[in-house]
Chains A and B, each alone.
Chain A
Amino acid sequence: MNKMNSTKTLNISLNNSSFAKKISQFWARYHVSIIITLLIIASVFAFGVYYLNGLGLSYNDARSHLDIGRRVVEGLKPGLAQLGSVWLPLPHILMVPTIWNDFFWHSGLSGAIQSMVSFVTTAVIIYMFLKKIGVSIFGRIIGVLIFTLNLNILYLQSTAMTELLLIATMTTGVYYLMLWSKDERILDLIKSAFFVMLSTLVRYDGWFLLILSIILIAIEVLRKKGYKVTEGTVILFATLAGFGVALWFLWNLLIFKDALYFIYGPYSARAQQLQLEEAGVLATKGDIFFSTKVYLYALLYSSNAFITILGSIGAVIFWLDKKIKTSIKIVSTALFAPLAFNILALYLGHSVLFVQGLSGDTWFNVRYGVMMMPPIAIFVGYLTHKATSLKYVLVGLITFVLFFSFVNLDAVTIDDARVGSSQKNVSEVSNWLKNNADKDGFILISAASHDAIIFSSGFPMSKFIHEGTGAYWESATISPDRWARWIVMRTNDVNDSTFKLVSESKAYELGRYTLVNHYPFADIYEIKPEFVENLNTEFSIRISK
């Protein structure tokens, strides 16, 4: 009956005493280092790919982030005040050590470095998180691979966007919170507070994590130790974790004379959302069902539908697992902070997100979906660990899906960056400037509206007079013919602050500028030759108001 067992077999035996044993010992000792090395290689490789194909700078926001960092060190009025209030400051502060270098600025590397470091850090944290909850090496590696082999993550880690930094700080914060709940070491709580504080300085998602963490800590300590200890623990955590938020209020008060300037200022997200609402495209506002639907779709598209489903199953099993301490389960809820935050932000109208076929015809801000990648990776890693004999099936199916996502280069974030609202192909305007504005003289432009043009022109920041140049801006918008050889603005669009102010100036009314050309995102005006000699073209000119 069993003929095959009676056939001859060839045995290859590797004696464990020497070579195999050494490999085993080497792996046991250095496996984290090996994983980090591989992650670094993957990170650098991905950056190289997106740098060479030019996609690394496709996001309009990526160019704006780089410009903000650059303005801190170079421009007509450099300094920390250039950090502004549009975005939280940590990503731009981290750029400062490298952004002075033109290559680091124009390659995007200055912003991408922090994303790349964050990418490696998050992957390691996922590994450590799984290790601490007792997941086998197999499950841990699967968790890391789920995160690192997501094309959207690989793309975003190659850009100067803030997602990866936020993911890293939030995930690390939750990781230490989990360690604290597990071992009750106060040092872990302090570490958690530090990373949560960092996350509050990256994006407002971090503020939500701060509140959620405080609630979870309160529940956890109250459950175990009563009110008094809870009070002390919460104060300890909140003092450090909330420090960044307090600094941000203080910053706005000092620089803009209004602690809430970042909320109500003219360039705030709220102001933008109001414009969108007026345009009738803020469909999620006030509709919790649609907000949830839109974010879940963004999540499924950016995190891969199949892998997200596996992660959800893993999360349920994690919650039902009696071997895992209740306290770990409670604090691990913080991993879902991005999910709750994004739905809430969409519902309140503080955020806008389009999913093709569901709302709008683009993928605008669909990248918010990747914020849930760390928990998905963790729970898929956990699921494969629990799946025993089925783990090979799961790995096979995951490999199958990932194979096709790479073969077809399926990354919604790249689509968002390349077409639609998140991209801004300003090459026509910037090429004109590059070829024609290399003479003496300043360019008057609104950085809030046209940072991408400033970036793509290739000129130093000191060539531009923008909102952040203080007296230069004030003077140039009143008397452009004294300061600006070229004006870049959207004619007849009062949302463009250059047009809004310059259109009221005498020089504009008297026709001292010639319209060079209309372009998709802006028009270029050049001063008439007879007025050139009256222009200020030097860097430091004292202006007396």
Chain B
Amino acid sequence: MRIVRKILNLLFYLFVVAILALSLRGNLGSPNSIEMNSVEWKREGPFELSPERGRIALVYSLVENKSFIFDLNITKFTAPDVAQRKDGEFVSLFAPGVSFTAIPGYVIGKYFGASQVGAYATSTLFALLNVVLIQFIARRFGVTKAASMIASLTYLFASPAFAYAINLYQHHISTFLILLSVYILISWKNIWSLAGIWFLFAASIVIDYPNVVLLSPIAIFALTRIFVFKTDQEKLVIKFKYFAFLTFFTALIPIGFFMWSNIESYGNPLQLSGTLERVKVVQDESALTDRQLVQRELEGKNPDKKEKTATGFFQTRKLLDGFYIHILSDERGVLWYTPVMLFGIIGACLLYRKKTTIYVVLIGIVGLNIILYSMWGDPWGGWAFGSRYLIPSYAILSVFIGIALSYFRKSYIFLAIFLPVFIYSVLVNALGAITTSTIPPKIEAVALEKLSGVEEKYSFNRNIDYLLSNQSKSFIWRTFAKDKIPAVSYYWILVSSVLIVSGSILAYMKLMESRDE
């Protein structure tokens, strides 16, 4: 029986890998810096948006040119998300962590003649690791194996996490660092666990600066394992484990790397790249796309444009709009893109009743995640699919979903409500994964419409149109299946696979429950 379970477990992960592989975006080939600027690789290819371009550009520059400094082709490729140093050289505007993490993938991919696919597979790998971690964490909270599997599938395939598991963004790596830290916290209390936490905390900053906020509940919780305050009627006792202070030194490794990288890029070890001014290299008016024209116009209309500071990115006045965009709007909102996440609230309430201390950390991360990116100047995440900034929250909410599923596994009513919402969420998010992430915010879509006279959609309806026009950015479909099956069929194959496997696991869960009874 144990062997059967192990085989089933292995099959589950192979299935996840297969779906991710089928969805991974890319073109065959290892483009050079001139080819990277072509329409085939940019707008119509895997380098469709600037966050991907900015990161792959640094990978390319580091591997091919052995330099943090961009050559002119790479600068043109990355613009407008590129900074200019005082000496006139162009450098990346993004935190360097993602690019460095993607280097092995790029090199391996290049060996097989698909460097971009290799680099993008880095996100896929971390997405897979997140699936594993969600199951592990859920199991720690007493969730059944089957419910934990559904929880992890919900995260990966029923949320916008799917659309960012197949390209080069920071979200899955950040989520991995958060989940791993949480898992370490709930699994071990020894000195090595603390050392690991500080290392991961510092490493998260190299991946994406706002991670310092997202991981702060974990860091604070870890600190309570060094300092212990106890009071009784007679005395106040403050204990601190001074040997544990040594664990802070592990943070120096990522910090040292970060400072070195900053010196190489900007000449200043403490420079946050996001605070640098963007350089707009494309000067030729006729070369500007409609989208660039609209963005320029909208930027010009912004009267509050101030000097860029790290804290200036976050405006409390934007909270209301931000909440709306992230939670309710049909542009990016959870309610439209991944309503299944709302079941996580039920799981959170169930965990609250258990009075688990780590609960405070998990809720803190979700709260900070939503608030931080609601205050963010661009809550849409630029042109994007769903609310990509909330991917760490989806992971935690998925753990809570596992708790809810496990608790209500006897309830047909709960499953009857959960299942259609889950199916809807998978249908929507598979669209984003298979097609494109270039969904404009409503404000830009409306402006574009005025300019082009063509209807511009700003929700996943745009992905439907893309799919119906027989287009997909999946590497496997483009390379091997394009001439054999239409994109729509490819989408249905993927979706039905996910739904069949998820349904089977749910049925298994119910079956085991009946057998136990």
Chain A residue nearest to B213 (CB atoms) is A400
Query: Do the beta carbons of A408 and B190 come within 8 Å of each other?
Result: no
List 6 A-B pairs, minimum CB-CB distance, nearest first.
Answer: A305-B319, A405-B316, A305-B320, A7-B243, A3-B190, A410-B316
Q: Can you list, as one digit per residue, whether each of B238-272 has a CB less than 8 Å from chain A (1) or not (0)?
A: 11111110000000000000000000000000000
Check A9/B241 contact, CB under 8 A, given A305-B320, A389-B355.
yes
| Interfacial residues of chain B within 298-317, with CB under 8 A of chain A in the complex | 311-312, 314-317
| Interfacial residues of chain A within 8-22, with CB under 8 A of chain B in the complex | 8-16, 20
Chain B residue nearest to A357 (CB atoms) is B321
Q: In the docked arrangement, what's the CA distance between A190 and B23, Å?
A: 73
B360 CB–A CB distance under 8 Å: yes
Check A396/B217 contact, CB under 8 A, given A3-B190, A301-B317.
yes
Chain B residue nearest to A20 (CB atoms) is B236
Query: Do the beta carbons of B235 and A408 come within 8 Å of each other?
Result: no
Contacts A4-B244, A390-B360 given; 11 further ones with Cβ under 8 A? Answer: A4-B191, A4-B194, A4-B225, A8-B241, A12-B238, A13-B237, A14-B235, A305-B319, A390-B363, A397-B364, A400-B372
A388 to chain B, nearest CB (A): 8
Contact residues in A for B371 (Cβ distance below 8 Å) = 306, 397, 400-401
Give chain B's interface residues, CB within 8 Å of chain A. Answer: 188-192, 194, 213, 217, 220, 225, 233-244, 311-312, 314-317, 319-320, 323, 352, 355, 357, 359-360, 363-364, 367-368, 371-372, 375
Contact residues in A for B213 (Cβ distance below 8 Å) = 400
Which of B236, B317, B364 meets A13, CB within 8 Å? B236
| Interfacial residues of chain A within 374-431, with CB under 8 A of chain B in the complex | 389-390, 392-393, 396-397, 400-401, 404-405, 407-408, 410, 412
Contact residues in A for B319 (Cβ distance below 8 Å) = 304-306, 401
A151 to chain B, nearest CB (A): 9
Check A408/B364 contact, CB under 8 A, given A7-B243, A389-B357, A397-B371.
no
Query: Do the beta carbons of B242 and A8 come within 8 Å of each other?
Result: yes
Check A400/B244 contact, CB under 8 A, given A301-B317, A301-B320, A408-B316.
no
Q: In the docked arrangement, what's the CA distance between A309 and B192, Å?
A: 40
Check A393/B367 contact, CB under 8 A, given A3-B191, A7-B243, A16-B236.
yes
Contact residues in A for B244 (Cβ distance below 8 Å) = 4, 7
A137 to chain B, nearest CB (A): 15
Query: Do the beta carbons of A2 and B189 come within 8 Å of each other?
Result: yes
Query: Do the beta carbons of A410 and B317 come within 8 Å of each other?
Result: yes
Q: In the docked arrangement, what's the CA distance between A311 and B92, Å?
A: 43
Contact residues in A for B192 (Cβ distance below 8 Å) = 3
A176 to chain B, nearest CB (A): 34
Contact residues in B for A306 (Cβ distance below 8 Å) = 316, 319, 371
Contact residues in A for B320 (Cβ distance below 8 Å) = 297, 300-301, 305
Q: In the docked arrangement, what's the CA distance between A306 and B360, Å?
A: 18
Query: Do the beta carbons of B189 and A393 come within 8 Å of each other?
Result: no
Query: Do the beta carbons of A7 and B236 come within 8 Å of each other?
Result: no
B194 to chain A, nearest CB (A): 7
B442 to chain A, nearest CB (A): 13
Query: Do the beta carbons of A404 and B311 come within 8 Å of each other?
Result: yes
Query: Do the beta carbons of A400 and B241 come within 8 Å of each other?
Result: no
Q: In the docked arrangement, what's the CA distance between A2 and B315, Å?
A: 44
Most buried by B among A4, A301, A412: A4
Chain A residue nearest to B355 (CB atoms) is A389
A435 CB–B CB distance under 8 Å: no
Check A4/B236 contact, CB under 8 A, given A389-B359, A404-B311.
no
Check A15/B235 contact, CB under 8 A, given A297-B320, A389-B359.
yes
Which of B220, B312, B355, B367 meets A397, CB within 8 Å? B367
Q: In the docked arrangement, what's the CA distance between A378 and B233, Å?
A: 31
Check A401/B352 contact, CB under 8 A, given A7-B244, A9-B239, A393-B360.
no
A5 CB–B CB distance under 8 Å: yes
Contact residues in A for B323 (Cβ distance below 8 Å) = 305, 309
Contact residues in B for A3 (Cβ distance below 8 Å) = 190-192
Chain A residue nearest to B190 (CB atoms) is A3
Chosen A-B contacts, 28 in total, with CB atoms closer than 8 Å, are A3-B192, A4-B189, A4-B190, A4-B225, A10-B239, A12-B238, A12-B239, A14-B235, A14-B238, A297-B320, A301-B320, A304-B316, A305-B316, A305-B323, A389-B352, A389-B355, A390-B352, A390-B359, A393-B217, A396-B220, A397-B368, A397-B371, A400-B371, A400-B372, A401-B316, A410-B315, A410-B316, A412-B317
Q: In the docked arrangement, what's the CA distance between A448 and B510, Å?
A: 76
Q: In the docked arrangement, what's the CA distance between A2 and B188, Å?
A: 8
A1 CB–B CB distance under 8 Å: yes
Contact residues in A for B364 (Cβ distance below 8 Å) = 393, 396-397
Chain A residue nearest to B236 (CB atoms) is A14
Q: In the docked arrangement, what's the CA distance between A4 and B243, Å?
A: 8
A398 to chain B, nearest CB (A): 10
Chain A residue nearest to B191 (CB atoms) is A4
Most buried by A among B192, B239, B355: B239
Contact residues in A for B238 (Cβ distance below 8 Å) = 11-12, 14
Contact residues in A for B234 (Cβ distance below 8 Å) = 16
Q: In the docked arrangement, what's the CA distance between A412 and B315, Å?
A: 12
B178 to chain A, nearest CB (A): 16
Chain B residue nearest to A297 (CB atoms) is B320
Which of A14, A304, A392, A410 meets B360, CB within 8 Å? A392
Chain A residue nearest to B319 (CB atoms) is A305
Query: Do the beta carbons of A4 and B241 come within 8 Å of each other?
Result: yes
Contact residues in A for B312 (Cβ distance below 8 Å) = 408
B298 to chain A, nearest CB (A): 14
Most buried by A among B237, B238, B316, B359: B316
Q: In the docked arrangement, what's the CA distance between A16 and B230, Å?
A: 13
Contact residues in A for B217 (Cβ distance below 8 Å) = 393, 396
Check A8/B367 contact, CB under 8 A, given A13-B235, A16-B236.
no
Q: In the docked arrangement, what's the CA distance between A404 and B372, Å?
A: 10
Most buried by B among A13, A389, A393: A393
Q: In the docked arrangement, what's the CA distance between A3 and B243, Å?
A: 11
A50 to chain B, nearest CB (A): 19
Most buried by B among A5, A15, A305, A390: A305
